[in-house]
Chains A and B, each alone.
Chain A
Amino acid sequence: MRSDLADFELRAPQGLADALAMVEAGCRPLAGGTDVMVMLSAGKLAHRRWVDLWSVGELRGIRVEGDAVSIGALTTYTELRAHPVVVHDLPMLVQAASETGGVAIQNRGTIGGNIGNASPAADSPPALLAYGAEIELVSKRGARRVPYDAFHTGYKQTVAAPAEIIARVLVPRGGADRVHFYRKVGPRRAQAISKVCFAACGAKDDVKIALGGVAPVPLRCHEVERALLAGDIEGAVAALGRAIAPIDDVRSSARYRRRVAENLLRDFQATLARRP
């Protein structure tokens, strides 16, 4: 443990309004801690003042609101996996949750924390993009909704203002009978950070495709979608090649990521084609 706790502050809010006031005053939101506490242990946590959201009930809970599932930011992966509507309507979200860390991480990691941490290699974002999710941001001033495919603007950069936190994630329903294709490719079968993540949801007339690990942000691929819908698989592969910008890092190589992304696209297309 390389940090000096005397340098840090963790404030306990009395409810959401109090928490938002603390955020406005410069505290960053702490959810389950599965990213922040790793940085703290490593002596690499740059931000010093935190507000503890763990007990803020307004940020919890999964509700069905008409055509959408409204998922509280503090929903854990375990809770996602267990919720019958999520299981039925949003199987890629369940799959992403079950492939994030192991049981102990799933019991503590939250969807809001995962989105807010804004890692391009995160497991849930591609599934959320492929489902056309929306993010509800909230601050002392009120709430607003942002389409998730406009949320990430650059490496670890989002449209959220410093005084805003993620309150809920809204995911449209109605796709249970479509093809849900989610593939996380990591270095091993569990407890792994993804090298390439591919999520696609669709049918022959409508498809959404998103990838993680191949760009500075989780990436929705509109041009690829258009080519696929036009029946042009090679065009789709070429569009994918233009859309992604994978890198060499300690985990993998750019050329491997590029080829695997392409292979997964072809695999998705073949899966789609096999549907009656």
Chain B
Amino acid sequence: MADRIGFRVNGQPCAPAVHPMRRLLDVLREDLALTGTKEGCGEGECGACAVLVDGQLVDSCLVPVAQVRGREVTTVEGLASGEKLAAIQQAFVEHGGAQCGICTPGMILAAKQLLDRVPRPSEAQIREALAGNICRCTGYVRIFEAVVHAMEHEPATRGARRP
């Protein structure tokens, strides 16, 4: 039972012919060869598979691909502009936010959703926004630092309405 499910990934249209209940995670990794999104648990507990759907953070291991029909999916591969890293990625590099790196794609997207909605989050808001992304290496300390650094270096017009 395969449908063509049309959606956009990182700004590009795609329409893989897949079973509608196939996990979005598997469509990204296997059908679209976007392996930046990782599987850590298959239960929606670790957040390693997190992506953005229309700017909202979701665990892609829990999303049947049929439900992203017509939507915009953003994965870690979609953050940099060519060789220029997004501020949050640069902050992770500079502040030791990534150790083994397996949680990093999901963690960066969780941070991105936060900063897109709350340009100047408090420490409590940062902790809460990342609570669904488990890191086993860092103890989260340098991830928090990276998020704070990214928020201080984002252009002021980020998220602002254009006249």
Q: How far is the CB of A180 from chain B (nearest CB, A)?
A: 20
Q: Annotate A43-71 by CB proximity to B: 1 below 8 A, 0 otherwise.
A: 00000001010110000000000000000
Q: Which residue of B lies closest to A101 (CB)?
A: B132
Cβ of A5 and Cβ of B132 under 8 Å apart? no
B22 A78 Cβ-Cβ under 8 A: no
Q: Give the size category of A's interface with B.
A: 20 to 34
**Interface of chain A residues 1 through 47 with chain B (CB within 8 A):** 1, 5-6, 8-10, 12, 30, 32-34, 37-38, 40-42
Residues of A within 8 A of B113 (CB): 103
Q: Is B147 an interface residue (CB 8 A)?
A: no
Check A10–B21 contact: CB distance below 8 A: yes
Map CB proximity to A onto B47-77 as digits: 1 under 8 Å, 0 otherwise: 1001000001111011110110100000000
Write the chain B residue with the least CB distance to A190. B131
Q: In the complex, are the beta carbons of A1 and B59 less than 8 A apart?
A: no
Are B67's CB and A54's CB within 8 A? yes
Asked if B44 CB lies within 8 Å of chain A CBs, one says yes
A1 touches B23 (CB 8 A): yes
Contact: A108 with B131, CB < 8 Å?
Answer: no
Does B1 interact with chain A (Cβ within 8 Å)? yes
Residue of B nearest to A39 (CB): B43
Given the complex, which residues of B lie within 8 Å of A6, measured CB to CB? 1, 19
State whether B23 touches A41 (Cβ < 8 A): yes
A157 within 8 A of B: no
User: For the complex, is B42 an interface residue (Cβ under 8 Å from A)?
Assistant: yes
Instruction: Check if B88 is an interface residue, CB within 8 A of chain A.
Output: no
Which B residue sits closest to A189, measured CB to CB? B131
B42 touches A1 (CB 8 A): yes
* A33 close to B62 (CB less than 8 A): yes
- From 85 to 144 in chain B, residues with beta carbon under 8 angstroms from any chain A beta carbon are 110, 113-114, 128-134
Q: Contacts of A54 on B, CB cut-off 8 Å?
A: 66-67
B45 proximal to A (CB < 8 A): yes
A271 at the interface (CB under 8 A from B): no
Residue among B26, B45, B110, B130 with the highest chain A CB neighbour number at 10 A: B45
Q: List 27 A-B contacts (CB under 8 A).
A: A1-B23, A1-B26, A5-B19, A5-B22, A6-B1, A6-B19, A9-B21, A10-B19, A10-B20, A10-B66, A12-B20, A33-B64, A34-B62, A37-B44, A38-B62, A41-B43, A52-B20, A54-B67, A101-B44, A101-B132, A102-B128, A102-B133, A103-B129, A104-B57, A104-B110, A189-B131, A191-B132
Chain A residues close to B by CB (< 8 Å): 1, 5-6, 8-10, 12, 30, 32-34, 37-38, 40-42, 50, 52, 54-55, 78, 101-105, 107-108, 189-191
Q: Assuming A103-B113, A105-B62, what are 8 further A-B pairs, CB within 8 angstroms?
A: A10-B20, A34-B62, A37-B61, A42-B43, A104-B57, A107-B57, A108-B63, A190-B128
